[in-house]
Structure 1
Amino acid sequence: MTEGRPSNLRHQAILEQLFSNGQVFVHDLAEQFNVAQETIRRDLTKLESQKLLKKVHGGAVNIQSKFERDFSERAKLAADEKKAIAMKAAEFIKSGDTLLIDFGTTTMEFAQQVKNIDGLTVITNSPLIAGIVQENMTIDAILIGGQFSGSKFACLGAITLKNIGEFSADYAVIGVGAIDANKGIMNQNIDEAAVARKMMENSDKLIVLADSTKSNKHAISLVSGWENVDILVTTSRDIKITEANKKTKIIFADAEDNR
């Protein structure tokens, strides 16, 4: 990307990264777009004036507001990668398994894949995921209640956490907002992070789904260190988990194979 790229196109690209990762950094954006850091700061100031982000030291963070991109738009980001990841992850699931699945655009694609496996029990905080797997009448879909978040299309909060604690699953399958090679898996929303942690605690194994936009990033809430992650399915080949975390099996999915 070059200096001559129109600012409106650069703004759009910045927002796509922001909505995907939860935060952006001036240094990284300047290098990516081959522009001065001051140019990026002006971009962020402009976007903040439109109430599309909040500037912080060194960059900007997403804000939860009416201006947030709706779900259908977020689902389009890295769509080919998400499908490839979902297909790979579904290979670990067999008839008779019980799954705890949190809600996200990648886990929804995962639901599309596993709905073809007979005899599953799927426990989820998402009405959309429950509806997808229920298309297979042999799947027992259990919808976890709680405070419904329209912007997240899922139930969150204390009631949801209590209800998750009543179940025991073979696998927890979760999406994440960020992956840190040293710290582990993270989420930008603390309520979603709490749901993911509770699902992990009540499952024998944890499968994490993460497209390339999540790698080597940071987010507000730590979901878990690598010691609890059994399988990471990702399209990013630049994830280098530290030597101390050899438990995690990394499975690479290739989006090119599905085009």
Structure 2
Amino acid sequence: MTSPTTQDITADLSPRQNEILQIIRDQGFATLEALAEIFNVSTQTIRRDVIDLSKQGFLQRFHGGAGLPNNMVRLGHEQKNRISPEAKQRIGEQAAAMIPNGASVFLDVGTTVEAVARALGNHHNLRLVTNSMLCASIISAQSHQEVHVIGGMIYGSDGSMVSNDAPAAIRRFALDYCIIGCSGFDDDGTPLDHDRQKVAIKNAAIRSSRHNILVADQSKFHKHPFMRIAEINDFKDFVTDMRPPAHIRDSFKKAGANITVA
């Protein structure tokens, strides 16, 4: 019997099981304890989900956690970089054009935010804060006065750094601009992501910034991760590469946020 592909992962599964699969597709592996904390259930409950998903061929069980079966490949950072590179470049250039010289800016993790980082190369005297090793590498080669890297444990192939102390460290900054990526949208247009620690860092940066800019390409419009990053009215701008669906477009308009199609 052939194991299901990623396109098969929807039918006959509970919402929590679908979210478990999405998390593991993104991360490659997750411990039972981490999943239990994300979903606020016991490890025994998660273990039962993992056993069920393993029997159906969606996951492979390991000691203390679960990962992808051999026939499924995690969509890693390099693969994500190859998805819509020209669109991400346009988004990056458009978002960077909104930021004046001399501003203090937080840069989130992810390939679209990295495109913004590259587009900031012609800016001067920016003060930059990031928890992305890859953004830090990009901007450290540019002519900016200050680059602050929020440390922690390296988490995943996107070069993100997370720690329990990171949100508090970010809240010490008074930021002019905040560039935030997302992995999908809720039915009411709210931007969503998968990982609790990354979401906590995004939210801390948003609360510390005067002007928040969401960046996401069209591939995120119909994805539905598990966790809310922030409310729509926390963002002043949303930069994307295609006119969003009506439910996203109308929600941002109602919240008074601008949508710019690069």
Normalised to the residue count of structure 1, the TM-score between the two structures is: 0.71
Q: Paired residue for 2:216, among 204, 210, 214? A: 210
Question: Where do 5+ consecutive residues of structure 1 fail to align?
Answer: 1-6, 24-44, 53-62, 254-259
Can you give the 5+ residue segments of structure 2 that lack an aligned partner in the other structure? 10-17, 24-52, 61-65
Instruction: Tell me which residue corresponds to 1:196.
Output: 202
Report the equivalent of 1:3: none
Residue 99 of structure 1 is aligned with which of 85, 101, 105?
105
Determine if the alignment matches structure 1 residue 250 to structure 2 residue 256: no
Amino acid at match of 1:161: P
Residues 191-215 of structure 1, C-alpha deviations (whole Å, 9 max, x = no match):
2111111110000011000100111
- What CA RMSD, in Å, does the superposition of the two structures yield over aligned residues? 3.2
Aligned to 1:76: 82
- Residue 178 (structure 2) aligns with: 172
2:120 matches 1:122? no
1:242 aligned partner, one-letter code? S
Q: 1:185 is matched by which residue type in structure 2? A: P
> How far apart are the structure 2 equivalents of 1:134 and 1:14?
42
* 2:108 partner amino acid: D
Task: Find the aligned partners of 2:7 and 2:83 in 1 and give their Cα distance.
Answer: 11
Residue identity (%): 21
Rounded Cα–Cα distance in structure 1 between residues aligned with 2:204 and 2:255: 23
When the two structures are superposed, what TM-score results if normalisation uses the length of structure 2? Answer: 0.71
1:156 equivalent to 2:162? Answer yes
Give the direction of change, closer, same or farther, for the CA distance of 1:146–1:237 in structure 2 (3 Å limit). same
Q: Give the direction of change, closer, same or farther, for the CA distance of 1:179–1:64 in structure 2 (3 Å limit).
A: farther
In the aligned structure 1, how far is the partner of 2:77 from the partner of 2:252?
A: 37
Determine if contact 1:106/1:175 at 8 Å carries over to the other structure.
yes
In 1: Cα distance, 2:67 partner to 2:208 partner = 29
Determine which structure has greater relative contact order: mean sequence separation of CA pairs < 8 Å that are 6+ residues apart, divided by chain length. Answer: 1
Q: Where does residue 239 of structure 2 map in the other structure?
A: 233
Give the CA deviation at 1:14: 7.4
Aligned residues: 213
Q: Which amino acid aligns with 1:217?
A: K
Q: Give the secondary structure class of the aligned counterpart of 1:132.
A: helix
Residue 49 in structure 1 maps to residue 53 in structure 2:
no
Bigger CA drift: 186-195 or 176-185?
A: 176-185
Match of 1:131 in 2: 137
Q: Cα offset for 1:49?
A: 2.6
Q: Is the 8 A contact 1:101 1:172 kept in 2?
A: yes
Change (3 A) 1:214 1:159: same
